[in-house]
């Protein structure tokens, strides 16, 4: 038995997120079906990140166990022949049997993409949140610096989330502008339900002048979802990379 690790990229537009679920098509199900077609046996993928409906990924990671004799590095090109164009296996390799991507993930990088201007390009609308308003990136960065560290992020978590603790460590948040595109990069050890999209929504409120950077500590300390900004649409969010413990 071998444990195969896949790095997976996908356009999340047509999917109900990563995790398999009843009544809706998820990325996990599509990839598991491709594995079954390739190997002739069913396999269960264990993923590192349960991205939500409509969220994209450049580097999600998942593993499965198999007795097939296919060389580990050949799974990527072989599986791609069974997958739709909006899901691709970027790479594949064998890993130790005890490797668990969800629990061995050390930190993750997400990006939230915003396009500003008068018109949203039809080539970009699936992957950005479009706004006509101008944003103050300098103020957004000042606010972002106050949101990093180890905190209880209750104010930045969807109310429906059911977790033991809402304490997380955010290593870094940066806001960069290239032309009309603004990218909010968030690097952390783990994230609550909708956390990155709420962080981005709060920073946008700062960029619009509706909140001030110095409001951020009070929002964290208040531990109240109503204090933070709106949850921005899923389509602007991308899981970029996951780092694992040695």
Check 52, 152, 187, 215 and give the catalytic one.
52
Q: Do residues 140 and 69 touch, judged by C-beta distance below 8 A?
A: no
Enter the tokens of residue 12: 């999340």
| Dist. CA 209–CA 244, nearest whole Å | 38
Q: Count CB neighbours of 82 within 10 A.
A: 16
Q: What span, in angstroms and rounded, lies between the C-alpha atoms of 161 and 146? A: 24
Q: Which two tokens stand for residue 87?
A: 């899901």
Query: 168: which 2 tokens?
Result: 């997380």
Count Cβ neighbours within 10 Å for each residue of 224-246 and write b for 16 or more, e otherwise: ebebbbebbbbbbbbbbbbebee
Q: Which of 82, 55, 78, 59 is nearest to 68 (CA)?
A: 78
Structure tokens at 4: 């195969």
52 as an active site residue: the answer is: yes
Write out the catalytic residue numbers: 52
């Amino acid at each position: 038995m071998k444990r195969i690790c896949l790095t997976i990229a996908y356009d999340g537009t047509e999917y109900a997120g990563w995790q398999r679920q009843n009544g809706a098509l998820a990325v996990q199900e599509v990839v598991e079906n491709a594995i079954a077609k390739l190997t002739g046996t069913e396999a269960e993928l264990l993923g590192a990140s349960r991205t939500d409906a409509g969220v994209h990924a450049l580097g999600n990671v998942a593993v499965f166990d198999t007795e097939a004799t296919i060389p580990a590095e050949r799974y990527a090109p072989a599986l791609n022949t069974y997958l739709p164009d909006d899901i691709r296996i970027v790479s594949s390799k064998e890993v130790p049997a005890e490797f668990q991507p969800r629990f061995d993930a050390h930190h993750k990088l997400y990006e939230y993409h915003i396009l500003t201007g008068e018109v949203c390009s039809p080539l970009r609308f699936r992957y950005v949140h479009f706004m006509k308003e101008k944003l103050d990136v300098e103020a957004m960065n000042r606010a972002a610096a106050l949101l990093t560290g180890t905190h209880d992020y209750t104010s930045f978590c969807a109310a429906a989330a059911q977790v033991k603790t809402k304490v997380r460590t955010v290593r870094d948040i940066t806001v960069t502008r290239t032309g009309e595109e603004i990218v909010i990069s968030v690097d952390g050890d783990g994230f609550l339900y909708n956390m990155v999209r709420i962080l981005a929504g709060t920073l946008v409120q700062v960029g619009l002048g509706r909140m001030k950077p110095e409001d951020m500590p009070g929002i964290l300390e208040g531990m109240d979802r109503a204090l933070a900004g709106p949850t921005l649409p899923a389509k602007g969010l991308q899981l970029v990379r996951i780092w694992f413990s040695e």
